[in-house]
Amino acid sequence: MENREDQLLLSQKKILENVALGGDFQETLDELCSASELLVSDSVCSVMIFDRSRQHLNVVSAPNIPDAVIERLNGTVPNESAGSCAVAVLHNAPVYVSNTLDDERWSDVRGLARDFSILACWSHPVRNTTGEVVGSFAISSFEEREPTYFQQQLLTESANIAGIILERHEREKDLWDKAHQDKLTGLCNRPMFDMTLSHAISSARRHQAQLAVLFVDLDNFKAINDTYGHKAGDDVLREIAQRLHRCQRSSDTLARYGGDEFTLLLENIDDLNSVTQVAQRIIDECSMPVLTDGHSANVSASVGISLFPNDALELRELLSFADRAMYKAKSKGRNGFYFYEEGLTRVVEAKKRLSIELRSALLNNEFVLFYQPLFNTDGSMSNSLEALVRWNHPARGLLTTGDFLPMVEEEGLMDELSEWVLYAACVQTKTWLDKGLLLDKVAINFSLFTEQKDFYAMVGRVLDETRLPATYLELDIAESLLVDDSDKLISELEQLRKRGVVVALDNFGTGGVSLALLARLPIDLLKMDRDFVDHLTVENDDPRLIKTIVAMASCLGLPVLAKRIETDLQREILAREGCDLLQGHLFSAPLAASDIESLLQGR
């Protein structure tokens, strides 16, 4: 007995010394649990604390308890049947459950006890120095048993020490918050932001990453203070802080830098677009009026942006350059954002104009379809075409998909454009057929339809409305779309194929479709990835991959088409290796519908 009591005293002394010396909060709590476990065989210990709402208990220390158990314990609501800790906290008194499988106090969590062989559990409320319950300390046993007097004493003393550790941690956290938080808004303050930015720069250097600093200044904020008073001004700042918080990602750091200035650090940015999206959200959020004491205060923001490592490598320069860019935004009319490097601002402004113009293009019927014929290997034109969408821009002329399709995706316009392409192609094909022109099918790239929620229904509806027989429509699906989680897509393609629609596997050879999957795909044609053709530049180029693709297709009874044929050499090699159809500028560029009609009439 004396030996165990001595061990208890020694472990308590060591832990309390660690607390007095400012030891790590988590390590100290874990050490408390582990020390208690050594004194009770076949047991594990844990500490749970209330969340901010004081409605739920979450595990804060359980060094030897599996994550799966912790996950099920988190969110415990104190009541009479949710386990020992829930009851101990509810009644502010120790609870000793010797048989969790029979005791009614465990009736709601009996499954947890069975799943993890928790057969006994003793819990004691953890209190702060004012006596308020802040959590619980528990000893869970893998055998049914009542606690001895020593074990009850151990539970009480451990709960008391846990209370000391938690209160010390809360005091340290409170001191930290006061030193590093802005009192008015609750955001980081200037010193904290500078420290975070300094660490971020060091990390970005090591990992060759990019980051952005956004300097946000409220436009005409002084007028709000002068008109409505400083209390209203404070209300506006608090509201703007909440709105800016909604704009940031979880990994970003937002601070009130002083007065009506805020700063935002974006780490690990992949491209300029992610920065501009955040900046635009800030502009949009800040432009909405703020209600204060019955008044509607109109505010807006000017945002300056600097980038690491593009603009600067040091903290002060990054902040200074973002500040300069912010004043540039103000000089340009306020309520906008500006990059320190003016060239980037011009790029962003051009994208914004393009976004606005895209929406008008759909309304004004500025999109047109061009058609590229497919050819046989002897150079004769086949009876098949591929429809390609172009934008007849009123100022920039004819634009290909590479110029506008990424923006269509960003703006969420893909559904509208894809349905327009399908409808226009079907209408045009039906028109040619009604004129008696010889035509087998018109192909459309399926990548346009990847955002459609009910692709099969949309295609069926368009075919019905245009009265185009399904056999004249071909859908080209990229191989990469069939690699992961593609069962629904394959099912929809099977249904379309049963209706008569031709299905081609596009960009074949790079997407990673297995031979087993290839054999069961509902396809009628293989379209070889253009990279295989691009590499055929000299007579002695090795065409083994092309031979392999053609042989595979032949075994499956599928014809092969090669795209982007630019030279006679490419045509000769592909024809020799057994390709069935060819497409590219060597034979014909994409043509307007009127030119295609002339070609078809002249045959």
State the burial class of residue 430 (Cβ atoms within 10 Å of its Cβ: 0-12, 13-18, 19+). middle
State the burial class of residue 66 (Cβ atoms within 10 Å of its Cβ: 0-12, 13-18, 19+). exposed
Please name the residue ranges forming H helices in 40-148.
Answer: 67-73, 84-91, 110-115
Q: What is the DSSP secondary-structure string of 539-566? A: TT---HHHHHHHHHHHHTT--EEE----
The predicted structure's pLDDT at residue 5: 61
- Cβ(125)–Cβ(160) under 8 Å? no
- The reply to whether 404 and 319 lie within a common domain is no
Helix axes 342-363 and 272-286, enclosed angle (nearest 10): 70
Edge-to-edge strands, sheet with 301-308: 253-258, 261-267, 211-218, 301-308, 336-339
Could you tell me the CA-to-CA distances from 146 to 32, 119, 151, 323, 391 in Å, in that order?
A: 22, 11, 9, 67, 80
- The reply to whether 444 and 565 lie within a common domain is yes
- Which of 124, 153, 178 is at the close of a domain? 178
- Residue at 185 is within a domain: no
Q: Which two tokens stand for residue 325?
A: 């860019």
- The reply to whether 162 and 232 lie within a common domain is no
- Cβ(502)–Cβ(525) under 8 Å? yes
The predicted structure's pLDDT at residue 1: 44
CATH number for the domain spanning 25: value is 3.30.450.40
- The reply to whether 391 and 309 lie within a common domain is no
Using the structure block, give the residue that is written with the tokens 């499956």: 556
Domain count, the chain: 3
Cα-Cα-Cα-Cα torsion 388, 389, 393, 394, nearest 10 degrees, comes to 90
CATH number for the domain spanning 227: value is 3.30.70.270
- Residue at 184 is within a domain: no
- Give dist(CA 301, CA 282) in Å, integer: 8
- Residue at 357 is within a domain: no
Could you tell me the CA-to-CA distances from 34 to 21, 27, 112, 216, 222 in Å, in that order?
A: 20, 10, 22, 49, 58
- Residue at 261 is within a domain: yes
Question: Is the bond preceding residue 125 a cis peptide, omega within 30 degrees?
Answer: no
- The reply to whether 81 and 152 lie within a common domain is yes
Could you tell me the CA-to-CA distances from 566 to 377, 503, 571, 589 in Å, in that order?
A: 14, 26, 8, 10
- The reply to whether 449 and 519 lie within a common domain is yes
The predicted structure's pLDDT at residue 511: 60
Per DSSP, the three-state class of 125 is strand
- Which of 291, 319, 349 is at the close of a domain? 349
- Give dist(CA 392, CA 424) in Å, integer: 15
CA neighbours closer than 13 Å in the CB half-sphere of residue 405: 13
- Residue at 396 is within a domain: yes
- Which of 129, 148, 178 is at the close of a domain? 178
Could you tell me the CA-to-CA distances from 386 to 373, 446, 450 in Å, in that order?
A: 7, 12, 18
Q: What is the DSSP secondary-structure string of 507-548? A: EETSS---HHHHHHS--SEEEE-HHHHHT--STT---HHHHH
CATH number for the domain spanning 444: value is 3.20.20.450
- Residue at 502 is within a domain: yes
For residue 419, the enclosing domain spans 364-602
- Residue at 227 is within a domain: yes
- The reply to whether 404 and 517 lie within a common domain is yes
Please choose, from the candidates 465, 458, 466, the residue with its C-alpha nearest in 3D space to the C-alpha of residue 430. 466
- The reply to whether 555 and 433 lie within a common domain is yes
- The reply to whether 548 and 449 lie within a common domain is yes
Please choose, from the candidates 335, 306, 344, the residue with its C-alpha nearest in 3D space to the C-alpha of residue 217. 335
Q: Which two tokens stand for residue 26?
A: 């988590």
- Residue at 163 is within a domain: yes
The predicted structure's pLDDT at residue 4: 61
Q: Which two tokens stand for residue 350?
A: 């051009």
Residue spans of the chain under pLDDT 70: 1-14, 16-22, 175-179, 342, 344-345, 347-348, 447-453, 483-486, 510-512, 538-542
The predicted structure's pLDDT at residue 70: 93
- The reply to whether 370 and 344 lie within a common domain is no
- Give dist(CA 435, CA 438) in Å, integer: 9
| Ramachandran category for residue 567: left, alpha or beta (phi over 0 → left; psi -120 to 50 → alpha) | beta
The predicted structure's pLDDT at residue 102: 94
- The reply to whether 315 and 377 lie within a common domain is no
- Give dist(CA 588, CA 382) in Å, integer: 12
- Give dist(CA 295, CA 223) in Å, integer: 13
- The reply to whether 407 and 319 lie within a common domain is no
